[in-house]
Structure 1
């Protein structure tokens, strides 16, 4: 059944491409996330267990219909474990540039990115290695149906958006009459200082409701998040993301389930090096701390990544790294992983 579904979606993408290719400027692109993992501890599959696999494949079609209107369609092929693969329509939206009416503004309609996770992936820059904080711990879906107003600030100072979203995400279906609303802003306050121009701050608010049927307005799904990023001269970058969530998703719930998490990450590059090899290298580190229930003890989970990334050529990145996952008062799960990005 799944093989037929995959074939069907691919045929739709091909038909979409062939149709638009005759009427508009259409580009095909994609990303493949491949990895090799070797367990270093007895937890999980056991010490010495190793495998090659794909974690994600994205195929994207973008078409410019006019100076003001463009369309994007992205298929997402996910690793479901073992030999199984599942395919989803990840994005299918239209962008309408309305700068002639409202300066610096765009309206987006359809199945689209939830703005915070999408931009956090750009800040982290290594989605092929790991998801970002709120995506990893399922605080938000990375895509949803809805409409967005997007504004880009003049002179590259940042951007922001207000989104009206369905709520269950791109893999779910609507079960009630409620819709979710979110807003975020990213701002680069040091644009006039060349070595610090890439530094930024950001904030996010999400007011949502349970995805279940027969709920009331008390059955909430609220989130807040913040970002701080300091970048210096293309050499050093240090970033921190924090989120907190309040859930009362079941009609029988009388109290909020409170969660929070923090992700600290950064990289060191060597643009001044004479060696081309060193110029394309980055030392990368990341530390996450996630608490799945703030009202209970011993719920914290730690996640560590430490590695070296190389850009072999444009579109081919390789990152050997050490990863550790550890629940409080439990033994750690350690692994040596080689992640690869193939982009075309």
Structure 2
């Protein structure tokens, strides 16, 4: 933990001279909440607590118009057993990649970088400090991975894309060597048909398609899984809408795949808004169908500060009471 903090301080300090040349920039983002546990499941946990759920420190450096680099330090609660502590707040390197930009609307990324789907969906809704999107929440994918990808747009951003090859283990697990064909390949295609009509109410109406496939060898048998689907999005002065739909398939014995459905709705007026989201995961080889509902209100003081009061509940179709959860939260967002 101390080394991670020292790393962040050194990065910020070392940027002072370079930033004068406009080559290095430092930014940060804080997510936290005050939560009240409303669950009736017999747990003896604290009824109310303050939580730091996320802290990002990002350094961007550019050598010239073609070459640049990004490093993001991500603090979050560690849930493994390696430390011997109960969910300590630790730092991870989430993003560490360099970019080559051969064309104005295309760049090539190499290293630990944003995966094609989750970050784009987070940006559309703008509620990452309150909740994760359905695919991220149910761990059907990772928001970052190590690999090589091409990111770009054509026709004045009417079509946007990212396609790449990755290790497929996220950013907290060390990868093991594997056959090249078993690496994860992932691609996203976003289409905004009216993007060129800036005065149109539907200029931010988008259709997004996504797919990924990965495999691993198991005693001479190749186990392959696929995730594919898409989303419909709409951003407007008074309303934001996003609907995700994903299917997961696998040839592993006993794994019949699953389905994810997740709509999000936000109504806005000035700096105030109300929102609602529902996400459902059905695994074909499980008796449970998990559902999550979140609803609340927000006050966006600026792009750098916001607060949200909301209710969250997670439950299963078979009423697995020891895992059901509900709570009331006051979430905060601060950026610099």
TM category (shorter chain) comes to 0.7 to 0.9
Structure 2 match to 1:260: 259
Contact 2:255 2:284 in 1 (8 A): no
1:9 partner SS? helix
Which of 35, 57, 60 pairs up with 1:59?
A: 57
The change in CA–CA distance for 1:106 and 1:30 in structure 2 (over 3 A counts) is: same
Please state how far the C-alpha of 1:124 moved relative to its aligned partner: 2.1
Q: Aligned pair 1:312/2:301, yes or no?
A: yes
Q: Is the 8 A contact 2:291 2:314 kept in 1?
A: yes
Q: CA deviation at 1:63?
A: 1.4
Residues of 1 paired with 2:276 and 2:89: CA distance?
A: 30
**Aligned residue in 2 for 1:76:** 74
| Unaligned ranges ≥5, structure 1 | 271-278
Report the Cα distance in structure 2 between the residues aligned to 1:43 and 1:172, rounded to whole angstroms: 32
| Cα distance in 2 for residues equivalent to 1:198 and 1:15 | 39
State the match for 2:90 in structure 1: 86
Task: Tell me which residue corresponds to 1:123.
Answer: 124
Aligned partner of residue 117 in structure 2, secondary structure? helix
Give the structure 2 partner of residue 333 of structure 1. 325
Contact between 2:106 and 2:152, CA under 8 Å: does it hold in 1?
Answer: yes
Rounded Cα–Cα distance in structure 2 between residues aligned with 1:215 and 1:20: 53
1:37-52 to 2 correspondence within 5 Å?
A: 37-43=35-41, 45=43, 49-52=47-50
Counterparts in 2 of 1:47 and 1:186: CA distance versus 1, 3 Å: same
Matched, 1:240 2:229: no
* Structure 2 contact 105–153 (Cα < 8 Å) conserved: yes
Q: Distance in 2 between matches of 1:90 and 1:285?
A: 29
Q: Residue in 2 aligned with 1:201?
A: 207
Given that 1:64 and 1:70 are in contact with CA atoms closer than 8 Å, whether structure 2 keeps it comes out as yes
Deviations 1:202-254 (A, max 9, x none): 001101124xx7665721232112001234x4112221001122345xxxx43
Match of 2:273 among 279, 282, 303: 282
Q: Flag the 1:34–1:22 CA change in 2: closer, same or farther, 3 A.
A: same
Residue 141 of structure 2 aligns to a residue in which SS? coil
Deviates more, 1:121-130 or 1:172-181: 172-181
Would you say how many aligned residue pairs link Structure 1 and Structure 2?
322
Contact 1:236–1:266 (Cα < 8 Å) also in 2: yes
Deviation, 1:176, is: 3.1
The CA deviation at 1:41 is 2.9
Which secondary structure does the structure 2 equivalent of 1:43 belong to?
A: coil
User: TM-score of the superposition, structure 1-length normalised?
Assistant: 0.86
Could you tell me how far apart the structure 2 residues matched to 1:221 and 1:161 are? 20
Does the Cα contact within 8 Å between 1:149 and 1:162 map onto a contact in 2? yes
**Residues 196/49 of structure 1: CA separation in 2 closer, same or farther (3 Å cut):** same
Alignment-derived partner of residue 108 in structure 1? 109
Deviation at 1:105, TM superposition (A): 1.6
Indicate conservation of the 8 Å contact 1:40/1:48, yes or no: no
Query: Which deviates more from structure 2 when the two are superposed, residues 199-208 or residues 80-89?
Result: 80-89
- Establish whether residue 218 from structure 1 lines up as the match of residue 229 from structure 2: no
- CA spacing shift, 1:161–1:128, aligned 2, 3 Å: same
Structure 2 residue matching 1:66: 3-state secondary structure: coil
Unaligned runs of 5+ in 2: 80-85
Normalising by structure 2, we get a TM-score of 0.88
1:97 positional shift? 1.1
Q: Deviation string for 1:277-310 (max 9, x for gaps)?
A: xx1011111011112x21343x111111111111
| Equivalent-residue separation in structure 1 for 2:305 and 2:34 (angstroms) | 15
Aligned alpha-carbon RMSD (Å): 2.4
Would the alpha carbon gap of residues 224 and 71 (structure 1) be closer, same or farther in structure 2, given more than 3 Å must change?
A: same
The aligned counterpart of 1:10 is 8
